[in-house]
Each structure stands twice: as C-alpha cells, then as structure tokens.
Structure 1
Amino acid sequence: MSHKHRATGPRHAVLHHLPLLHLILLLVLAGAMTAGVGVGAVSIPFGEVWKVVAAHLWPGSVEVTWSSGRDNIVWEVRLPRVVLGAIVGASLALVGAALQSVTRNQLADPHLLGISSGAALGAIIVLLHTGMFLGLVTVPIFAFAGALLTTAVVVGVATVTNATNASRLVLTGVAASFIITSLGSLGIFLGDPRAAHTVIFWMLGGLGLAQWAQLPYPLLALAICGAYLMFNARNLNAMTLGDESATTLGLPANRFRLAVFVACALLTGAAVAFSGIISFVGLMIPHLVRMLVGGDYRRVLPLSALVGAIFLVLADMAARTVIPPQDIPLGVITGLVGGLFFILLMWRKRGIG
C-alpha cells in the first residue's frame, strides 16, 4: 500500500490543515495556562489573570483593581508554576520523540538511558546528605549535574565497548539506570529518615517549587536543544529506517545518535532538575501525535512540543484541584493517564501481531 494511499481519510484532512492545527494548539495552550493560573484554592477570574500579567509586563497599561494578595498569587506563585509546566512538558515530549527515532524503539522515553535516575541521585545527595549549601538552587544544580554525569557514563561505556548501535546503547543505558537507581536507594537508606518524605515527593514529580529565577535554565535548554532536534528532523526520519539506510543516505548514524543523546540529556536534565521525575509524557505524547499526523518528524516534533506543554499544564491543574488543598504528585497523574492510554492503545491494536 502506497504512502499516498495511507494518508487518505481523517489524517489526510489533518495534514492539509497543519498551520490551522498549530494555531489551535497555541490557543489551547494559552487557554490552559490561563485556567492553570486562575483555578485553585483561591479562584481568580481569567480576565483578572490577564490584567495582572499585563500590569507586570507593561506597568501602567491597566488600572490596578485587585489586592496585593491576588497579585502575589498570580505572579509569584501560580504563573511560574504554569510556565514551568509548559516548558517541562514540551521538553519531555521532544526527548521522547527523538529517542524513539534514534533507538527505533516505540517505548523509548527520557528515563530509558538513566538520565532521570542520575538527576534523582543528585537530588538525594543534596536533600539527605549535603544540605542546601548553595541556597534554593542547590537541588537543581546537583540534579542537572547528575543527569549530565549519567549521560557521560553511558556514552563513555558505549564508546569503549563499541556499543553505539541502537539496541546495545539502550541496554547500556538500562544497565546504568539500574546501578544509579541502586545508589539512590542506598542514599535514601543511609540518610535522615525525617527528610525522606521530601525526596520521595521530588522523585514523584511536581511543580510547586517553581520560581521566576529558575525558569531561564530549562527554557534555554528547550530553545537550544529543541532547535537542534527540529533542524535535524530529516535526519531523525532517516534514523527510523535503520542504521544501514541512514548511512546510505549520507548520515553517520552512530555519531548522530550520540549527539541526539547528549541533546536529550541536556533537555531532560534541565527539566527534571526543576520538576522532579515525571513519567510517561515522553512516552505517550509522540504516540498520540503520530496517530494524528503520521511519522514525519518535521511534523511530529513541533506538535509533540505543543501537545506535551498542554498536557502537563492540565495535569498539574488536576494535581492541584483533585484533593484540595493537597497537591498530588504530578508523576502520579501522568502515570495514571499514561498507563490508561497504553492499555487503550493495545486494545485498539489487539488484532496486530
């Protein structure tokens, strides 16, 4: 069956309206972020949310009719959290899509290579052993360093053992992940039991500690690494055909795969450092996007970023409102939704061997 024939039907209609789809998703993201700021223990009208934002971005542009308490809730508490959610969701979705290409593994996600485990180990060291000796940035710095160190170890071991093909590199990452997870568990066992609950909550993910001063770091990683991945969308398409086909097309498969892993490590490390470990976003969102627009990474990457941002903003809003005033760990919400999504996906494809 030809590719042109497969593109008929609902997917064909979507492909003919891609610019409109991008615009709709941008509007949905703006609406979700507005709702995320307005909804909570103190409900704030959406119009007032926009006025508070305008007053901070363009002082004097609107008349201030709200209390300083509401101003603080919108600008200092909820908006940084919502913006961080959008950045992390976009980052994890991009990483999942890219890893699924270069590993040719549809179940690949940011945790596959132990990147998140390395970030968790860095956070455990700070929270249970060294303390916040650099202030509030101590945990993000150590988590980011742990993610990069893990990636360096995986790439180094893969290079030394000549395990740079897709399957062996994945196995190297899984082995590194087991080792680093065990070290993290040892760190929890040897640490102060009274502080263990903080580590557990961080490992389950959440956006409650978001601050404006922290946002430039994950945003810069998203801008640089996201641009690199989108610029190489054609190469990611070639990698889905296999190493031999990619090499025939003039792409050095092993070198490109390692470069993508480094970019994914930077993205994941920057995201996990400020949000904790959030599962299933990188695994689920690319699948959902490919169901809509097919497998061309020129379409998959930007749409995955938008859908991932929308999904995590909505998931965080649910985490804050399901059992008020408690914050459910964000990883619990994404895990439940992701697990149900894949059960549904398997049920739909039950006739496929």
Structure 2
Amino acid sequence: MAKHDLGDIEAIRVNLQGWMREHLADARTLTLGELKFPEESGESSVTLILDADNGGAKERYICRMKPRASEVFDVHDLLMQYQMMEVMHDNDIPVPPLLGYEADESLLGSDFYLMGFVDGQIPTDNPPWAFGGWVTELSDEQRATQWRNGLETLAKIHSIDPERYDLARLPRSAPDQAPSQQELDKFNAMVTEEERACLAEPVLQALDYLNANLPAEGPRRLCWGDARPGNIIWKDLRPNAVIDWEMASIADPLQEVAWWYWIDYINCVGLGAERPGGLPQLQDIYDQWQALTGLPTDHAAYFDLFAVVRYAIILERKFMAMRRAGVERIGNFVDPFVEQQLARVQGK
C-alpha cells in the first residue's frame, strides 16, 4: 500500500532533480537515480526515497507529496507537517533534517517537501511488526526500554507550549468548544452514508456515546496525531526521528496516549498474534505519561473508546476502497475492541 500512482514518474524525477540542484547547497551537478517507494511502511501521504550522485558522493533524501487519491483522508496539508517538524526541531525532538518546502504544484503535481534520510529501523506496517522482524527479535528488556523511550518522546511533545508558535494552519477546536471537539468532528464527517451502512452497530453506538459524552475540559497541547512506534525511526532503542505529522492538531493529548497503546495492541492481538513480552500495560502507559507531563488522565476511558472507534472508521474506509477495487469483503477486526470499550465506559 506504500506505492502510489503518481503519473509520469520520470517527469517527477527530472523536475525534482532540477529543484534540488537549484535549492540545495553544492548540488549543481546532482543526479537522481530511480525514485523508490518504501515497501513495508507508509499508508497515506506519498513518500519517495531519492538516491543521488552528487559529484561522486552517494546521498539519500526523502520527498513527501500528496497522493492523487487517498483511502483515508481528504486533506493533506504538507506545509503544516513541515512547520510541525520545525517546531519539534526547535524543542530537541528528533526529526529528519528539513531541506525545503515547495508550494508550486506544477513541478510534481503537488506541493512537496524534502528531508535528509535518517538511519535507523522502523517497525513494519505491512505486515504489522508483531508478525516477525527486528522488534520481535529484541529481548523483553530491550522492548520495554524501547517503548519507554518512545513514550518519553511523546510526553516531551505534549510538554511544548503551543502559544509560543504561530500555528495557524494546525487544526484545533474553537476556544469555547471542548479541546478534542475538532478531532471528533473530523471522524464524524468521515462516516458517510456508504460507510455508515458498512460499520458494525456497536461502532455506531460508540460514536453516539462519544458525541454525547465528550469531556468539556482538558489541556490543549500539540498532538502528533498518528503517535505509534511505526512512525518512529529507531536507533539503539531510541527515537532517531519522529515522522508522519499529517494528523497533527491541538487537542487533548490523552487522545493520542490512548492511540499509542490501542493501535499497536489491536494490530497485534486483533490479528491473532501473541503480544510480545516487555510491552507495558495500558495503565502503566498512563501512569508513566502523567508522571512525565503532570497532565491529568481523568478521562482516559473515554479516549480509549475514541481511539478504537477512530481506528474502526479508518480501517473501514480502507476496506471500502479495497471492495471497490474488487477485493472480497474483509471483516473489521477492530469491532470487538469497540464493543469491549463501549461496555467498559457504560459500566456493563
């Protein structure tokens, strides 16, 4: 799913090469080779791996651009993503080297930004890392260290004061609304009549519950959006770069502490894999995050439900696209977790 139809890929290569020669230092003779897509990760925005020869020196870059069509999100604000990474860099949170944003869509058919390539390893999405690979080969103690380091980075993001920055492009709720109203509205809007007909009844009931019980109070912090280990480039069990900022917003950060746990848990247990040892339990994650940030966790159960409902909606949109392409219907493996968490918040 990481490969996208971009049209004339050779024209993109030539135009990108020309842009790099003009905008990068000491790159007047730079030559780009064949453009590549990451094969095991990347689901939404287009990621291109660029191998270049620059006067005999071998260099590697990453280009991010909008897809022609998206299975999940209708809006891809690349400038917002770039600005978020600038903020992260300013706060010593590791991100790839930022080499430039280009607004002119005539060059590649989309605006785009360029980054330096970061060494390290990424837990795979396709298939999910729990089914084998470098993370499963770690010891329990190493995995515990890795997850703790990742959560410390997440807590550091949530400790940034958003008032210090001009973040007008960043989605957020109005001042008189609940901190996560905008996020809830976004997922309400994603449930079209077509998707409503496909979603399981417990998911629709859970969405009704979320709309009726959204916490009115809570902190408003910078949120990464798609906070999970698979959106981190790891080196020596530590984040070497935090990537994929397309879901970023200002909202109650509890929503993505829940996401950090649940998307990873469901992609393991929900698909029939055994959860590897060393990974923290849900309450341990909330306790550690609260100790690091000093922020409240009073509404954790609500955001646990929000996390699994969000994932159910996202997956159903992907499955709908697959069915339109002729693939047989796939059951939404998130549904049982929605039913479980809905019963939990309702005290059943």
TM range (shorter): under 0.3
* Higher relative contact order, chain-length normalized (CA < 8 Å, sep 6+): 1
Structure richer in helix, relative to its length: 1
- After TM superposition, the score normalised by the length of structure 2 is 0.25
- After TM superposition, the score normalised by the length of structure 1 is 0.25
